[in-house]
Amino acid sequence: NDPSTYFAQSSEIYTWMEGLVSQNSGVASLVSIGRSYEGRNLRVLRLNMNGGSNKPVIFIDAAIHAREWLAPATLNYIVKQLINDYKAGNSEVRTLMNKFDWHFMPVVNPDGYDYTFRSSSTRYWRKTRKPYRFAYGADPNRNFDFMFGGPGTSNNPSSDIYHGPNAFSEPETKALSDYLTGIRNQLQQGMYISFHTYGQWWLTPPGYTRSLPSDHTEMMRVGNAAAAAIRAVSGQNFRVGQPANVGLYEAAGGSYDWVKYRLGVKYSFTPELRPYYNGSLSGFSPSAREIPNSGKEIYQAVKAVVKEIM
Ligand code: 0X9
Ligand code: ZN
């Protein structure tokens, strides 16, 4: 019954996080940041190991896209490892966790995520579940208020990349953006990481264009540290760079672009986790045996990028 070893629905993940909080009282806490369209809780787990105030924040989210099951599972694996390694006295982890507060939101889109557990015919649902005329859902990663409606988005509610009627039309993206705005000052000193699947990329912003940003070299330096850490653990190859320059596509209105260019958070990344891209939907439904494989390599990658910005 551990959502870092099998694919659990949102309520099971929340119950598991409540258990972590009671086993780690004083250092772990749960915040409710709002409710989804269908009324599910939107929750963030915070780890502040040494009680410091106003520390820089590392914020990691997952399941902005409903079908990407390996993303929340990998996030949960990392939460567990950080706590275990901290308690075991691992000096690297103690340094990283004392210096930063860590905030984790495993399920940004719980309505869509839980819907993908309902039947094999809903397994590959991507969007939210808010109704739009004769269709359901907006793509939460096209719904943020930066370059809204730009390249790689659709105004057709039936499309999987429907941007929604307006920026932050979805209660889930509205709640996340309000929360991130509230911790803006701490986030500017830290990092935003949004776990997606799949394809094995460590994506740098901006995602809405292939034009290079002024800090391209620095973003590549940090992203390459992630890829090197992954290669050292598992031998897997992760390509680093802006989506449209590394074999993906331009897409506007994504969370990591908004965090970087609206909130002014320099270090903002979107890793696309296992497996390596093969053009098939089956890449979104790996075996649960992939959770520790993904967890181990991405745990090392996250520690590596945080070390790079210290
Ligand atoms: O299309 C997306 O939102 C991401 N790929 S996914 O297969 N997980 O759907 C890519 C996001 C890259 N970021 C932006 N271009 N905003
Ligand atoms: Zn995604």
In the chain, domain spans: 10-309
Atom of ligand 1 nearest to the CA of 249: 15
247-258 pLDDT per residue, tens: 999 999 999 999
Q: Which residue's CA lies nearest to atom 13 of ligand 1? A: 207
Instruction: Calculate mean pLDDT across residues 25-32.
Output: 97
Its pTM stands at: 0.98
Give the 3-state secondary structure of residue 131.
strand
| Residue 276 β-bridge partners | 199
Residue 210, helix vs strand vs coil: coil
Euclidean distance between CA atoms 231 and 65, whole angstroms: 26
Contacts of 121 (CB under 8 A, 6+ apart): none
Question: Which residues form the pocket of ligand 1, taking CB atoms under 6 Å from any ligand atom?
Answer: 65, 68, 141, 196, 203, 207, 243, 251, 254, 256-257, 270, 272
Tell me how far apart the alpha carbons of residues 37 and 129 are, in angstroms, rounded to a whole number. 7
Helix/strand/coil (H, E, C) string of 15-53? HHHHHHHHHCECCEEEEEEEECCCCCEEEEEEECCCCCC
pLDDT of 164 higher than 80? yes
Distance 168 CA to ligand 1 centre (A): 17
Of all residues in the chain, the percent with pLDDT exceeding 90 is 100
Confidence of residue 271 (pLDDT cuts 50, 70, 90): very high
Per-residue pLDDT band for 1 (boundaries 50, 70, 90) equals: confident
Task: Give me the pLDDT at residue 18, please.
Answer: 98
Provide the annotated active-site residues: 272
| Interface predicted TM-score (ipTM) of this complex, two decimals | 0.97
**Helix or strand run (H / E) with residue 62:** strand 57-62
What is the distance in A from the centroid of ligand 2 to the CA of 66?
8
Mutating to test ligand 1, I would choose from 141, 239, 246, 250 the residue with most ligand atoms within 8 A of its C-beta, which is: 141
Residue corresponding to tokens 């745990």: 299
pLDDT class of 40 with cuts at 50, 70, 90: very high
State in words which class domain 10-309 has: alpha beta
* pLDDT score at 147: 98
Question: CA 170, CA 228: separation in Å to the nearest integer?
Answer: 36
* pLDDT for position 149: 98
Residues 6+ apart with CB under 8 A from 219: 204, 205, 213, 267
201 confidence band (pLDDT: 50, 70, 90): very high
- Coil/strand/helix, residue 255: helix
